[in-house]
Amino acid sequence: MSLIGSGFLTIFSFVFLISIVVVIHELGHYWAGRICGVHAEAFSMGFGPTLFSWRDKQGTVWRIAAFPLGGYVKFLGDAGAASEPDEAKLAEIRQRMGADAEKCYHFKPIWQRAFITAAGPIANFILAITIFATLAQTLGVNYLEPVVGGFTENSSAQQAGFREGDRITAINAQRVTRFRDITSEVSWRPGERLTFQVERDGETVTLQAAAALTTVEDPYGGEREIARLGIQSTGVALRRTFNPLTAIGYGIDQTWTVVSMTGRYVSYVVTGRSPPTMLNGPVGIATTAGQTAVASVERGEDAAQSVFLLLINLVNLAGFLSVGLGLVNLLPIPILDGGHLVYYAYEAVARRPLSMRAQAIGFRVGLALVLGMMLVATWNDLNYLLGQIF
């Protein structure tokens, strides 16, 4: 594929993914606000200059902005996109609107504010479950059994006593049903001694092994640093089909698996037990979206199949991205949804809200933390791109 073609696909795929997950996240906040009787002054898809906008019957201004890197809902009384309170504006609203001031987000009971705040991440998780369940029911799922088919050179698993034909059933008491589960449990735990439950010749064997941090080449020519045991699969793929009920169960299980793995990885990074090399930002999302799109189009035998594979793989990727966005927003950092929930928890316990000054300081600290995370993620993304070039 030409450079221009791949560039266009990358831009299209990135905008497609971000638009889906961000709009759903913000619609979660918006509809929860509507349920609680809060007036939304603006709903923005993207940041920066407004490309076009319109006002609905409720008086909400809907806008499409130039930079599709996020979005926000601005409720009545908010000082900005992060829903931080504006003390002067709140006092003016209370005096001017009287009883109608109850349409203001910050005058609502704690449980309603918490519900509106949590609704964004919840919407992301619901979107992910819906995507995974729908794809599972319509297309089925191919998977490899968690059976050892061979070993790479200098395999830590082979040194730990694994044998070909071993079926791994659990890692640190976490159930394993697919070969991918092994990678999910191991890749972010370099050097940690893990306990494996293995079925061998009708008996259960317990083994311990530590994965080594290894630089591996991905299917797109780039390099990633992940922890590996050096186990190879048997290569025989099985196919599972689903009815509507089991598909929903699969969607929930898949979403929880991503939440659990991501949450544990972040905790390992924070405590210094794992390097932050797997953290990615907008550049990494765009890169992955572009790689997925190009590979999908090139796999198609004709234009119709290429378009089908493109949409299916991008929608599947949107499911994973939606989980990530929902989870990141629940981090207890002021400016994110999780930080707001921490403020409301304090208010519920102390019987009074945190002072405006303290909240403002918290928002500034939170912004610094988020920008720091973005810098680390962008550094990882650029290192990956440079590794592909050089």
pLDDT one-digit tens code per residue, 57-73: 989 999 999 887 778 89
Rounded Cα distance between 186 and 190, Å, is 8
Rounded Cα distance between 164 and 200, Å, is 10
pLDDT confidence of residue 388: 63
Does the structure show a pLDDT above 60 at 84?
no
Give the pLDDT band of residue 4 (cuts 50, 70, 90). low
Cβ 323 vs Cβ 124: under 8 Å:
yes
pLDDT confidence of residue 361: 87
Does the structure show a pLDDT above 70 at 220?
no
- Give 114-133 pLDDT, tens digit per residue: 999 999 999 999 999 999 99
pLDDT confidence of residue 138: 94
- Give 89-119 pLDDT, tens digit per residue: 667 766 766 666 778 887 888 999 999 999 9
- Give 355-381 pLDDT, tens digit per residue: 878 888 888 888 898 888 888 888 888
Does the structure show a pLDDT above 90 at 179?
yes
Mean predicted confidence (pLDDT) in 169-186 = 91
Rounded Cα distance between 248 and 126, Å, is 11
Mean predicted confidence (pLDDT) in 152-175 = 92
pLDDT confidence of residue 82: 54
Cβ 155 vs Cβ 228: under 8 Å:
no
Distances (CA, A) of 1 to 5, 8, 9: 6, 11, 10
Neighbours of 246 (CB within 10 A): 14
Give the pLDDT band of residue 219 (cuts 50, 70, 90). low
Q: Which alpha helices (H) appear in the chain, and where do they start and end?
A: 3-35, 87-97, 110-139, 156-159, 179-186, 244-270, 282-299, 303-329, 337-350, 356-389
pLDDT confidence of residue 86: 58
Label residue 351 left, alpha or beta by phi (over 0 means left) and psi (-120 to 50 means alpha): left
Three-state DSSP state, 71: strand
Rounded Cα distance between 20 and 247, Å, is 22
- Give 306-331 pLDDT, tens digit per residue: 889 999 999 999 999 999 999 989 98
Reply yes or no on whether 26 is catalytic: yes
The pLDDT mean for the chain works out to: 87
Which amino acid is it at 266? V
| Residue 61, strand partner residues | 42, 55
Cβ 381 vs Cβ 289: under 8 Å:
no
Catalytic residue among 26, 164, 185, 301: 26
Distances (CA, A) of 358 to 343, 363, 371: 10, 9, 20
Q: Are strands 150-151 and 141-144 parallel, antiparallel or unpaired?
A: unpaired
pLDDT confidence of residue 194: 94
Give the pLDDT band of residue 19 (cuts 50, 70, 90). confident
pLDDT confidence of residue 359: 81
Nearest to 192 by CA among 175, 206, 212, 170: 212
